[in-house]
């Protein structure tokens, strides 16, 4: 009952803020910021030889509001509401559980009248209050604490790892916790953060020191991750025109993630990115059966496989049309994921995307297709 009141109240607050922002008073528009989007995503899932098709669809509305009543104080709330229907819902008895954020300490998800083939879910995705004065900042509540520097695999993001296959979640998941920061000359700063989980043993707390030295950004992390110690470091800079980034995180159970990236932008607009990930506890041999359910990622398990390399090529052919293709390969397991995509900007605030995901791997001694997924998405931002 409490979560129903909270989520419904925040949703009403966001709508009220939208009215205030577009009202006649200048004072109200300075205090409130409201934006969001409405998306429709069609999913087509094919089996290995395209002989079977499973369809799904959902409409996704997101409302974001920020309120700044005083110069030093601000607050934010964001609600995402999704309406799922189709064969994907009907064929998966655990569908409601799988779309929930497992890292939330407070269960602020509402499911409205679910049935066998459709589900309407509202989720309080962000809810925070922040105080800033001079070099200090304190933010408490549901928020994203992003300590990662790389693009594809964030070894240093120990609070809220995201799944790179979930391209439709641009904001990425958040956690319930507290973050305190202090910044001094240049870019140097210290952050201390702690977040709660759905169980006491899932508590995470750490401190990060960040500084720029010889044109490179450096960060060092130490803390506790789910009752075990962890240390890490990251760097970001360039050699000539080539960008270089890297992250390493070690968990005191003889477990380590190491990610390294390099990227380059050509004069004609082509973009090239190469990435490497080593997961010390990942799989290093081929499996007899693969499933996309294996990609339930966490800070300690950024990939189910031990050795991983990836390459991405993208190009903006015009201001309204762009294309990208990524290919990931895991030696030892012979897992390959191919991820092409197209984007077309129909209007200033309307985008259409076509995204493909093909999973191929060695199974029973032969390299073959596992599953293929196609996504067609239309997005209206406001």
Is residue 172 within 8 A of residue 157, CB to CB? The reply is no
Which class for 251: exposed (0-12), middle (13-18), buried (19 or more C-beta within 10 A)? buried
How far apart are the C-alpha atoms of 76 and 26, rounded to whole Å?
Answer: 20
Pairing of strands 321-330, 118-133: unpaired
How far apart are the C-alpha atoms of 125 and 148, rounded to whole Å?
Answer: 20
CA 202 to chain centre: 19
- Length of the chain counted residue by residue: 382
Q: How many CA atoms does the CB half-sphere of 305 hold within 13 Å? A: 25
Q: How many CA atoms does the CB half-sphere of 13 hold within 13 Å? A: 19
| pTM: predicted TM-score of the whole model, two decimal places | 0.87
Say what the pLDDT of residue 363 is: 80
Q: How far is CA 123 from CA 34, 106, 110, 131, 238, in A?
A: 17, 11, 6, 25, 40
Q: Please list the rounded mean pLDDT of every run of 10 residues in the chain (382 residues).
A: 46 46 47 95 95 95 96 96 92 83 84 84 96 96 95 94 90 94 90 92 95 94 96 97 97 94 95 97 81 75 95 96 97 94 95 97 86 97 95
Say what the pLDDT of residue 54 is: 95
Say what the pLDDT of residue 293 is: 55
Say what the pLDDT of residue 161 is: 86
134-382 folds as: Porin (2.40.160)
Cα-Cα-Cα-Cα torsion 126, 127, 128, 129, nearest 10 degrees, comes to: 150
Task: Tell me the torsion sign for CA atoms 7, 8, 13, 15.
Answer: positive
Locus of tokens 């030295």 = 213
């Amino acid at each position: 009952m409490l979560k129903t009141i909270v989520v419904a109240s925040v949703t009403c607050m966001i709508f009220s803020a939208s009215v205030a922002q577009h009202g006649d008073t200048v004072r109200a528009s300075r205090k409130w910021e409201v934006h969001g989007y409405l998306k429709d995503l069609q999913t087509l899932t094919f089996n290995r030889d395209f002989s079977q098709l499973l369809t799904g669809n959902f409409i996704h509305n997101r409302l974001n509001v920020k309120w700044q009543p005083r110069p030093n104080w601000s607050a934010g709330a964001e609600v995402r509401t999704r309406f799922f229907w189709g064969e994907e819902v009907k064929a998966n008895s655990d569908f409601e559980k799988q779309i929930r954020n497992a890292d939330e300490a407070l269960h602020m998800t509402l499911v409205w009248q679910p049935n066998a083939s459709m589900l309407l879910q509202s989720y309080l995705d962000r809810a925070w209050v922040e105080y800033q004065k001079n070099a200090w900042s304190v933010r408490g509540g549901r928020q994203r604490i992003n300590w990662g520097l790389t693009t594809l695999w964030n070894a240093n993001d120990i609070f809220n790892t995201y799944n790179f296959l979930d391209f439709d979640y641009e904001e990425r998941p958040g956690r319930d916790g507290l973050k305190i920061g202090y910044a001094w000359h240049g870019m140097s700063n210290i952050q201390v953060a702690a977040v709660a989980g759905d169980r006491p043993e899932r508590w995470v707390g750490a401190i990060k020191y960040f500084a720029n030295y010889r044109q490179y950004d450096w960060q060092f992390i130490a803390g506790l991750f789910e009752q075990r110690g962890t240390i890490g470091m990251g760097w970001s800079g360039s050699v000539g025109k080539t960008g270089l980034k890297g992250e390493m995180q070690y968990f005191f159970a003889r477990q380590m993630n190491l990610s390294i990236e390099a990227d380059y932008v050509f004069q004609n607009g082509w973009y090239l990115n190469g990435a490497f990930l080593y997961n010390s506890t990942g799989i290093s041999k081929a499996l007899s059966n693969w499933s996309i359910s294996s990609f339930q990622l966490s800070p300690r398990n950024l990939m189910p496989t031990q050795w991983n390399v990836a390459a991405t090529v993208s190009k903006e052919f015009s201001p309204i049309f762009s294309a990208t293709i990524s290919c990931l390969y895991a030696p030892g397991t012979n897992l390959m994921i191919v991820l092409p995509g197209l984007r077309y900007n129909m209007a200033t605030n309307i985008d259409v995307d076509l995204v493909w995901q093909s999973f191929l791997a060695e199974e029973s001694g032969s390299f073959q297709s596992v599953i293929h997924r196609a996504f067609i998405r239309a997005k209206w931002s406001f």
